[in-house]
Amino acid sequence: MPGAPSIPPSATADEVALRERVRDPDFWLEVACWGVVIFSCLQILLFSFGRDQSIYAVVGEGILSGQVPYRDLWDFKPPGIFLIYAAAQGLLGKSMLSPRLLEVAGLVALVFAFRHLGEVFLEQRRAGVLAGALAALLHAELEFWHTAQPETFGAYLIVAALVVSTRDTSRRGRWGAWIGMGLLFGCAFVLKPPLGGGAFVCAAYLARREIRRGESRWWAMLPFVVGGAASLVPIGLCALWFVVSGGWGALRWTLFEFAPGYTQLGWYGATALGAYYYGLQEAFTRFSALALFGFIAAITMRPLHSREREGIFLMLGIIAVNVAGIAMQHKYFAYHYAATIPPLAFVAGIGLYKLFMRSLAVGPGGILGFVTFVVVTTAMRDGVRDLPQGFWYRCGVRMRYLFGTAGAVSSREELDRELYRVGDFSLDADLQVARYIRGNTASGTPVFVWGFEPAIYWLSERPPATRYIYNVPQRAQWERERARRELLADLAARPPAIIAVQNGDIFPKVTGDWLDSRSAVWRFPELSALLDAEYRYAVDVSGFDMYERLEPNRRTNAK
């Protein structure tokens, strides 16, 4: 080729392969994609906990000490996420980094899975790597508040199930694929029940493939039967754990009586079709202009391979089921889409790879145009818009801190104070309250936070005096009488040395009203009477009213 550097006749086969690879534009595309993946993983490893992550960490730590979710430590998420946080802390130690390491490991595995799927549907592994890089970046853009959620880990299980479902195996080996697919979706169900619905999509895909291989329709039903039976195994094992441990009654009340009331909060005046349309609109347009344009390119440009549309329709089926689950909740929090973004990113990655190949045909100008397009569309939208700073500004703060460059914050505490706050939540405030509690109580002394900040228990290393590690059940407009009775019984059995009352935590989408915890305590007569009779106001710490328990003789005098 004119202008190409010559290869000496004495060059070894490895040297020839290396030189050919360096001249291959696809090679540099893959290098850039892995750079994006590494950058995204670094961001995630520097994420601290938000409110939900704190809940999971407290319950996960409790599991390691023999406590049972719902019965001993209460939240209304399905149990799978507590098991993941328990595993993270059990394997890697108690730190905010532990679940992030699992999250990053899953994200890297997802990129390799997409690489495999790119080979299956396009015979282009690098198209899969491009899709994986897009998925990694979009996940990092969800920021600390919306990552390390049930949907995050559910996405990894779904993609693993897609890999298992698309393997080309012998007739006997297909049974293993069906069982593996079912087990993975059963685990996804334990994390978030709607995520298990993707099993029907994969089973339908596998059934169609059996028919195309010439198998009978009865044989083609086996993926549904075998996969469905396998999916019940992790669900059944989880249920058995709660039955044996004595936590089934608490689980049943939480997930089948309390949680439906929470779901109904957003449904007043809404319709099912309207909710589903809104969920689809959010999935395709809310998070990334680059993903949207990539998706359009994927479905409008000529296929690269005869199986490309097969792969696209499989991903669209998963997206459709996931969005139906989001619409059922009718909350549309950004993290609800964490399991939907990866399959969307895979389709978008196919489109972006097509555009890349088209730009190569144009020449250097085309490549420059492609790079400009990617940069501009990436900057068009932030993944989430509920944080005080934009994603790229926050990335700059984190990278300066990581590399110690000029203008960097000097400590992790300063980084947490600068970045890890949103709305009424401030990780720094939780740290200040935890310090106060540690300085004024002995180790092992129970304390009680009347608010929505379970991180205080985890940071102060003091046990909660009650199973209710936050007060939504007592403030909600449904099922609160039982929750209040149980809370008062817990406090009577284990009187807390300190009660912290939070100010400003108003979230009507969760509690159903516009009261904060300070206002709500005075509408809970028994709790306010307990504060008046047995506690004294001590100090305000970062927006928390701290009440210390009176000595018995002072309690008598106060009465």
Distance (Å, whole) CA 345 – CA 20: 30
Q: Is residue 101 part of a domain?
A: yes
pLDDT band of 26, cuts 50, 70, 90: confident
User: Is a pLDDT exceeding 60 seen at residue 20?
Assistant: no
Among the residue ranges 103-117, 208-222, 450-464, the one predicted with the least confidence is 208-222
Rounded to whole angstroms, the maximal C-alpha distance in the chain is 100
Q: What is the pLDDT of residues 442-480, one digit of tens each?
A: 999 999 999 999 999 999 999 999 999 999 999 988 889
| Residue 203 domain-assigned (yes or no) | yes
pLDDT band at 10 (very low <50, low <70, confident <90, very high): low
Q: Which burial class, exposed, middle or buried, applies to 204 when counting CB atoms under 10 A from its CB (0-12, 13-18, 19+)?
A: middle
Q: Are residues 403 and 439 in the same domain?
A: no
- Mark whether 395 and 486 lie in a shared domain: no
In a domain, residue 37? The reply is no
Q: What is the pLDDT of residue 559?
A: 46
Q: Whole domain around residue 201: which residue ranges?
A: 49-380
User: Do 207 and 70 belong to one domain?
Assistant: yes
* pLDDT the model gives residue 449: 98
The β-bridge partners of 69 are 73
Q: What is the mean pLDDT of the segment spanning 194-212?
A: 95
Residues 252 and 341 in one domain: yes
Q: At residue 461, what are phi and psi to the nearest 5 degrees? A: 55, 40
Residues 428 and 417 in one domain: no
Report which of 80, 226, 232 is spatially closest to residue 157, judged by C-alpha positions. Answer: 80
Q: What is the pLDDT of residue 360?
A: 92
Domain-terminating residue out of 322, 349, 380: 380
Mean pLDDT value of segment 57-68: 98
**Cα distance between residue 172 and residue 114, in whole Å:** 26
Same domain for 393 and 468? no
Tokens 């009775």 locate to 485
The kind and range of the H/E element at 448 are strand 448-450
227 in any annotated domain: yes
Which of 370, 397, 421 lies at the terminal end of a domain, its last residue?
A: 421
**Whole-angstrom Cα distance, residue 288 to residue 381?**
6
6 part of a folded domain: no
Q: What is the mean pLDDT of the chain?
A: 92
Residue 374 shares a structural domain with residue 508: no
Question: In the prediction, which pLDDT does 15 show?
Answer: 54
Q: For the residues 72-80, what does the mean pLDDT come to?
A: 97
Model confidence at 105, pLDDT cuts 50, 70, 90, reads very high
What would the two tokens of residue 365 be?
């100008």
Looking at the predicted structure, is the pLDDT value of residue 556 above 70? no
19 within some domain = no
Show Cβ contacts of residue 311 under 8 Å, excluding neighbours closer than 6 positions: 117, 120, 121, 122, 346, 350
Question: Would you state the structure tokens that stand for residue 23, as one six-digit string?
Answer: 């001249």
pLDDT score, position 3: 41
Q: Are residues 100 and 249 in the same domain?
A: yes
* pLDDT given at position 246: 96
Is pLDDT at 2 greater than 50 in this prediction?
no
Residue 12 binned pLDDT confidence (cut-offs 50, 70, 90): low
The structure tokens 């109904």 sit at 264
Tokens 């505490």 belong to 413
* Per-residue pLDDT reduced to its tens digit, 146-155: 999 999 999 9
Query: What is the C-alpha to C-alpha distance for residues 262 and 483, in angstroms, rounded to an integer?
Result: 14
Task: Give the rounded percent of residues in the chain with a pLDDT score beyond 90.
Answer: 82
Residue 439 forms part of a structural domain: yes
- The pTM for the full model equals 0.93
Tell me: do 376 and 444 sit in the same domain: no
Give the 3-state secondary structure of residue 54.
helix
pLDDT at 194 over 50: yes
Average pLDDT over residues 354-379: 94
Q: How far is CA 348 from the centre of its chain?
A: 21
- Confidence band, pLDDT 50/70/90 cuts, at residue 510: confident
Query: Are 456 and 344 contained in the same domain?
Result: no
3-class SS of residue 515: coil
Residues 399 and 527 in one domain: no
pLDDT tens track for 430-446: 999 999 999 999 999 99
Higher pLDDT, 215 or 15: 215
**What's the rounded mean pLDDT across residues 402-426?**
91
Whether residue 41 is contained in a domain is answered as: no
Across 176-190, average pLDDT: 97
Torsion angles phi and psi, residue 502, rounded to 5: -80, 145
- Per DSSP, the three-state class of 452 is coil
Q: What percent of the chain has pLDDT over 70?
A: 94
pLDDT at 243: 97
Tell me: pLDDT of 262 over 90.
no
> In the structure encoding, which two tokens stand for residue 65, read together?
């000490």
Same domain, 321 and 398: no
Query: Predicted confidence band at 5 (pLDDT cuts at 50, 70, 90)?
Result: very low
Please give the pLDDT value at position 4: 44
Is the pLDDT confidence value at 18 over 50?
A: no
How many independent structural domains does the chain possess?
Answer: 3
d(CA 317, CA 314): 5
In whole angstroms, what is the distance from residue 482 CA to residue 193 CA? 25
- Residue pLDDT, tens place only, 272-288: 999 999 999 999 999 99
Using the 3D structure, point to which of 361, 396, 421 is the last residue of a domain. 421
Q: What is the mean pLDDT of residues 190-202?
A: 97
Cα angle: 502, vertex 461, 500; to 5 degrees: 20
The predicted model gives 341-351 an average pLDDT of: 98
The conformation of residue 501, written as its DSSP 8-state character, comes to: E
DSSP-assigned beta bridge partners for residue 549: 535
